[in-house]
Amino acid sequence: MMALELRSDGVAFLAASATMAVLVEGLKVLAKAGVYPTTFTRKLLHMAAGPVFILTWPWFGKQPSSAVWAAAVPACMTAKFALVGAGLIQQDADVKLMSRTGDRRELLRGPLLYGAVFCAATVLGFRSATAGGALMALCAGDGMADVIGRRFGRRHKLPWSPQKSWAGSAAFTASAFAGSMGAVSLFHHWGWSSSAAADLALPLLAASVAAAAAESLPVPEIDNVVAPLCFALAMRALAPP
C-alpha cells in the first residue's frame, strides 16, 4: 500500500480527479461520436465510476483528513454536474451522457444523488468493507439490474414494482455480491481490512440481498440512495467493525 501512496493528499486529489475526468471525458467522446448508444455509455459510466474511484484510494494518506480529500473528488464532479443541470454551465456533452431524455434538469436528480452517495461513503467509511461494498451495490448491482432486467425481465415483473423484474433483482444481488467481494479482497490485500473476503462472504451476501430488495421498491428517483444505504446498514448490523 505504501508504494501506491502519493506524497500528499493534495497531489492524490489532483491525480484522482484527473483519472475520473479521463473516464468521463472518454465516455463523452464515445457518446458524441455515436460509437455506442447513449444508453450504453451512460450505464457504463454508472458502473465504472465506483471501481475506478476505489482504485485511487491507495493514493491518499492515513490521516483523518485524507477521507475528506478523497471525497472532494466526487464532490467537485457532482458540483459541476449540478451547475450543468441548473443551467449555469452549458455542457451539452454532459447532458447527453448522463440524462435519459436530453433534459439537463435530470442531472439534478439521479446523478446528483449518485455523487452524494460517493461523498458520504468516502467520508463516513473510507477504506472500509461497508463503504466499498455500498459503492459496488450502487455501481455494479444497480447497473447490472438495469442491463439484465431490460434484456431478460420483460415477462416476469415484480408484483410490487411493475418497472422492475425478478431477473433484474437477481442480477443486482449477484453483481453487488461479486463486486463487494472484490472490493474487500483488495482492501485486505492493501492492509485496510483484517478480514478476508471469504470471512465476510455471508454478511456481504445478506447485505447484497437487502440492497436488491431496496432497489426493487417503486422509488426510481431515490434508488441510488436507498440501495447502498440498505447495504451499509446491513453490513453494520451483521459485520460491525
pLDDT digits (tens, 9 = 90+) for 209-234: 999 999 999 988 898 999 999 999 99
The predicted model scores a pTM of 0.92
Strand (E) positions, 138-195? 157-158, 161-165
CB 57 within 8 A of CB 187: no
Domain ranges across the chain: 1-127, 129-241
Q: How far apart are CA 71 and CA 57, in angstroms?
A: 10
- Smallest CA-to-CA distance from 50 within 108, 122, 136, 179 is with 136
**Which tens digits make up the pLDDT trace of 131-168?**
999 999 999 999 999 999 988 988 899 999 988 999 99
- Smallest CA-to-CA distance from 184 within 173, 195, 176, 175 is with 195
Per-residue pLDDT of the chain (241 residues; tens, 9 = 90+): 444 556 699 999 999 999 999 999 999 888 888 888 888 899 999 999 999 999 999 999 999 999 999 999 999 999 999 999 999 999 888 888 888 888 999 999 989 999 999 999 999 999 999 999 999 999 999 999 999 998 898 889 999 998 899 999 999 999 999 999 999 999 999 999 999 999 999 999 999 999 999 999 998 889 899 999 999 999 999 986 6
